[in-house]
Amino acid sequence: MNLIILTGPTGVGKTELSLKIAEKYNGEIISADSMQIYRKFDIGTAKIDCSKTDIVHHMIDIVDGDMEFSVYEFQQKAKTLIEDINKRNKMPILVGGTGLYINSIVYNLTFQESGKDDAYREHLNQLAKEKGLDYLYAQLVELDPNSAELIDKNNSHRIIRALEIAKNGKKDNSSFNTKNEEYNLLYLGLNMDRAKLYDNINKRVDQMMYSGLLKEVNELIKLYPETSQSFKAIGYKEVLSYIKGEITSEEMSELIKKNSRHYAKRQLTWFKRDDRIVWLDREDEDLFGKVEKLVGEKFGK
């Protein structure tokens, strides 16, 4: 089965390039973004407005904001979509920056169903209370250093979920050795000069604020508990802190920018380990020409 993957750090321009690829090669896009799965979480996730494009998008707006969605669930749905899109003689294009989502496909990671263990989760929560979050994070670094690098050290929920996955995964989730040969894969990575990427991120955050991120979060907290995993994402947790009076408006904006830049750095660290990725320069004047050449060599299109 054919598969194109396009990944890269937040703010680099994956969406724009993915639309061009999909249009050129009769493709359908499968989002690999762990926040764009949530309905109504639109501005802070830079979610595409699917009503404004003819390109079919999957795995966007599939769960409510108070629901959890595991890597296992993503993997199973994405595999089904990839097979279905191939059967219809179209090109599946997996697009996003959530490392575990993408690796679950590329390396065919195997999990116990849903990978949840209530007793183990309670044990971890108790450890966090007794020994602190730094202790749990240190455990994650030891068990799965790749996942640890991608996770905010202060996000208790994600640290605990990653520890659950590390415990329940039948294969080592940090392993880049077991390649999934099921797919005829072209794995593309989009990057750009670091200073310009950070500038893009800062401008995007300014645009999010201008577009009404504060209003969006105020509406969302009427619908879902503030303890929901969706509110722990960058762009939402900072606005929540502002709404609660914990930080100023200026501090909120600067914190979103800083956290987004740090996340981009962690994403690049994660993906740079993978030698299957063909890296492309976002600022290359012949960017799409290089994509066409790679697609032609891989798929004869």
pLDDT, tens digit, 9 for 90 and up, residues 87-132: 999 999 999 999 999 999 999 887 755 446 677 788 888 888 887 8
Mean of pLDDT values over 12-22: 98
Cα separation, 53 vs 71, in Å, equals 27
Q: Between 289 and 273, where is the model more confident?
A: 289
Residue 161's DSSP bridge partners are: none
244 pLDDT band, cuts 50/70/90, is very high
The verdict on whether residue 10 carries a ligand-binding annotation is: yes
Query: Which stretches of the chain are DSSP H helices?
Result: 14-24, 71-87, 99-106, 118-131, 133-143, 145-150, 156-168, 194-211, 213-220, 237-243, 249-272, 287-299
Helix (H, G, I), strand (E, B) or coil at 16: helix
The verdict on whether residue 11 carries a ligand-binding annotation is: yes
Lowest-confidence range among 58-72, 138-152, 194-208, 220-234? 138-152
The verdict on whether residue 13 carries a ligand-binding annotation is: yes
Sheet strands (E) in 66-146? 91-95
Residue intervals in the chain for CATH 3.40.50.300: 2-108+178-299
The pTM assigned to this predicted structure is: 0.83
Please say if the pLDDT value at position 204 is more than 60. Answer: yes
Mean of pLDDT values over 273-281: 95
User: What pLDDT does 87 receive?
Assistant: 98
Amino acid sitting at position 43 = I
The verdict on whether residue 9 carries a ligand-binding annotation is: yes
User: What pLDDT does 168 receive?
Assistant: 65
Percent of the chain scoring above 90 in pLDDT: 71
Pick the CATH number of 2-108+178-299 from 3.40.50.1970, 3.40.190.10, 3.40.50.300, 3.30.365.10: 3.40.50.300
The verdict on whether residue 8 carries a ligand-binding annotation is: yes
Residue intervals in the chain for CATH 1.10.20.140: 111-177
Cα separation, 90 vs 100, in Å, equals 25
User: What pLDDT does 19 receive?
Assistant: 98
Please say if the pLDDT value at position 172 is more than 60. Answer: no
Pick the CATH number of 111-177 from 1.20.1270.10, 1.10.10.10, 1.10.20.140, 2.30.33.40: 1.10.20.140
Q: Between 174 and 228, where is the model more confident?
A: 228
Please say if the pLDDT value at position 67 is more than 90. Answer: yes
Contact status, residue 63 vs residue 35, Cβ threshold 8 Å: no
Q: Between 219 and 176, where is the model more confident?
A: 219
